[in-house]
Amino acid sequence: MSVDLNFWRYKENFAHDHIKVYRTACCEGELMEELETLPINDILKKIAVAFSDWTIQNSGKYFEKEGYGAFQIFTTPQIVRFDCYDMQEADMNVLIDILFDFGCPLYDPQISTRFDSWTDR
């Protein structure tokens, strides 16, 4: 089973249109005025540390571990998207927690929901 997990942070005082951001920024890779720039290199470093016992390929953008699945990372300066393949929930939660630490709530397109009750960004 594959799941994609998507993360971004809105600029202050901008309208929130999660579906538009998902389609435009996360799927098409386009930059959007309403989104903040994220510290992508810092995020990638934290992911590499958290998953250091996984096989890392493609310049730190593809991770796999036998019996645990795999994930691929797509980034722009404004978003982080994980395409997860046969991953365990606990490992996906590690990814979610890392982005939470950077102030980025999870958007789950499978259920069209952004889990952002803790922030206005």
In a domain, residue 119? The reply is no
Helix 89-101, helix 40-50: angle, nearest 10: 150
In a domain, residue 74? The reply is yes
CATH code assigned at 102: 3.30.310.250
Phi, psi of 60 (to 5 degrees): 80, 20
The three-class DSSP label of residue 96 is: helix
**What pTM, to 2 d.p., does this model score?**
0.94
Domain region containing 93: 2-114
Residues 2-58 pLDDT 10s: 999 999 999 999 999 999 999 999 999 999 999 999 999 999 999 999 999 999 999
In a domain, residue 23? The reply is yes
Q: Which residues pair with 14 in a beta bridge?
A: none
Residue 118 has pLDDT above 90, yes or no: no
Domains held by the chain: number: 1
In a domain, residue 12? The reply is yes
In a domain, residue 121? The reply is no
